Amino acid sequence: MKIDAGLVARVDEDPSSAEIVGALVTIGAELDVPVSAEGVTTEEQHRALVLLGGTVGQGPLYGEPALGDHLLFRHLPSSRTSKLPLDR
């Protein structure tokens, strides 16, 4: 489950957004569904998400976007990646 960047943008300032995000994290945990907060841009948002029980986030605070293929290939053993095309 993904938490929209619009909610994440206000999670550290708006009690309603924080309450919704906290509820979504709780629902995900109860259903054993991973929850990811999108669009984390500040340390304050990160801290608020952690306090609400969030464990996975994505956004500019953590790094620039990357192509999925390159992430996958980076984690495969080198003997296997040499047989796969990296450029498309």
Task: Return the residue matching tokens 């709780």.
Answer: 26
Average pLDDT score over residue span 54-77: 72
**Would you say residue 72 has pLDDT above 70?**
no
pLDDT on residue 65: 75
pLDDT tens digits along 16-61: 999 999 999 999 999 999 999 999 999 999 999 999 999 999 999 9
- H helices within 1-88, ranges in order? 5-10, 15-31, 43-51, 68-75, 78-81
Q: Is this structure's pTM higher than 0.95?
A: no
How far apart, in whole angstroms, are the C-alpha atoms of residue 88 and residue 82?
15
